[in-house]
Structure 1
Amino acid sequence: MNRHTFARYVSLLSPVLLCACAGTPFQTAANYHPETEARVRVYWGANVTFYMNTACVTGEAKHFVASKPGLSSLSNKTVGMPVPSDAARYFHEYIVPAGEPMTVHAQVVSERFIGGKRYRAIDAAKSSTFVPEHGHNYEIFVQDNDGPDEIFARELVSGANGISTVPHPLKPTGTCKL
């Protein structure tokens, strides 16, 4: 295959591959049942895993990666949550069971340039837990600090002036003890 033919194939396949990578959310607003479920938005920036029906981190519980920095995270995945005016640009939303503990496990991985060399910095993982209430909407974000990173949650509240947020308490947790 000559260079011209290869360039033509790449130019034709690139948009197809980019569309395939963008994907669509595996949950939709139509699947949301507020009488038994809650919705959670997680903002881009940290590796975040949700552990369902557990108040600690364990491989035994149902869990999934909710956010992982990379090109696929630069398209929002939504399930119909209202968006506050101060929302970050990139996020993923999920429908989760209400009334059960949910553990958020997060770790920030970043690259830093020191003296012209690139270094990978891996912060210590943090975990927090809370119990989502049915019909409520929550946001999770991880703050990359100079010291230990922090996981925060806030609840979205609909009012006469639109959508506002209030801090929602999280309980620090860790790996389950056997």
Structure 2
Amino acid sequence: MTRHTATLFVPIVSSVLLCAYAGTPSQTAADYHPETEARVRVYWGANVTFYLNTACVTGEAKHFVASKPGLSSLSNKTVGMPVPPDAARYFHEYIVPAGQPMTVHAQIVSEQFINGKRYRVTDAPKASTFVPERGHDYEILIQDNDGPDEIFARELVSSVNGTSTVPYPLRSTSSCKS
């Protein structure tokens, strides 16, 4: 790498890395209050936004991007949730209010090769909602299907034998009606 290339490369990479970490809520295990909060893990692969205290997708509610493919997703962000044996490699964990509806909005963008050409495919967005219970841990999984994508949730159950999961019901939702 020439000196000129390095002079251009370092600031660009630094900017990209700083942007990748900006805007993500910063939480630690010490911030968790199980009497009023729950924890949620989302796996890498889809663009996922969490909308808090609403049972539909609206820009009026507090919301944040929980996961998006990119450099920031290649390191786990954890708040101390137990990890089941079948966990995917990359994930982000968040502390959320319990007893309030939470909406998960997800969309998968992928690339497909058709006749030797690469095409970007953007799936239709999906949204589901649930009410996290205090002191409980949940995982959100987005399944890329040939048809519409699906959002699944499962609850983590810790025992002396380790951590297991059980399906947790979500209700399909959409944008809020004005």
TM-score (norm 1): 0.91
> How many angstroms apart in 2 are the aligned matches of 1:19 and 1:71?
7
Instruction: Find out whether 1:139 has 2:139 as its counterpart.
Output: yes
In the alignment, what sits opposite 1:38? 38
Where in structure 1 are there 5+ consecutive unaligned residues? none
How many percent of aligned residue pairs carry the same amino acid?
Answer: 75
CA contact (8 A) 1:101 1:130 kept: yes
Q: How many residues align?
A: 176
1:98 aligned partner, one-letter code: A
Where in structure 2 are there 5+ consecutive unaligned residues? none
CA contact (8 A) 1:22 1:75 kept: no
How much has 1:21 moved relative to structure 2? 6.2
Q: Deviations over 1:39-68 (max 9, x none)?
A: 000000111000000001111111111011
Structure (1 or 2) with the larger CA radius of gyration: 1
SS at match of 2:92: strand
TM-score (norm 2): 0.91
> How many angstroms apart in 1 are the aligned matches of 2:59 and 2:170?
21
Instruction: Find out whether 1:6 has 2:4 as its counterpart.
Output: yes
SS at match of 2:2: helix
Q: 1:109 to 1:22 in 2, by over 3 A?
A: closer
How much has 1:86 moved relative to structure 2? 0.3
How much has 1:9 moved relative to structure 2? 3.9
Task: State the Cα RMSD in Å.
Answer: 2.1
In the alignment, what sits opposite 1:93? 93
CA contact (8 A) 1:54 1:103 kept: yes
1:97 aligned partner, one-letter code: P
SS at match of 2:72: helix
How much has 1:118 moved relative to structure 2? 1.1
SS at match of 2:73: helix
